[in-house]
Amino acid sequence: MSRSRALTAWLLLSIVLASVLTLIGLPEPLRVLRPFWLALIVIYWTIEAPEHYGIGFAFALGLLQDVLIGTMLGEHAFRLAIISFIVLRFRSRIRFFPMWQQALAVGALLLNDRIVVLLLRAIAGEFTIDWRYWLAPLVGAALWPWIFLLLDDLRSRSRQRDA
């Protein structure tokens, strides 16, 4: 398999897995802890292959997520485009951060996403949140090192197989 085909295969697998993890039903107390899985995948691929996966890619994935979940069309697309823009802007710094700093940066990105959701919901007239609303970015930041290392290991194994 060629290098670009292997990259595309890992990308599609990660997107499908993120979508499945998003759709899995969870009990109410755990639902607030669910991270924005697709954002974590977009962050990874934007850091690792920005020439292929940028803002347009993130926007298209967001539209698919909107259709899949049944949210207002464009909400996830807007959110993922913002995340992708910020990652592209600071990619050269984020890429070389130690893992704990990368996790903090991802946590900040996910926290920014929560603020964007809050603003979108306020505009739409749905302005009720509680303190648990802010837990999902912390979970996403805690999971980031594992997600990054897993995807990076899978990519490097496919590169070694091609060589």
Question: What confidence score (pLDDT) does residue 163 get?
Answer: 58
66, pLDDT greater than 90: yes
Longest dimension (CA), the chain: 55
Residue 23 has pLDDT above 80, yes or no: yes
Q: What's the rounded mean pLDDT across residues 77-85? A: 97
- Kindly tell me if the per-residue pLDDT of 33 is higher than 90: yes
Q: Which helix (H) or strand (E) holds 77?
A: helix 75-94
pLDDT at 6 over 80: no
Q: What mean pLDDT comes out for the span 132-156?
A: 94
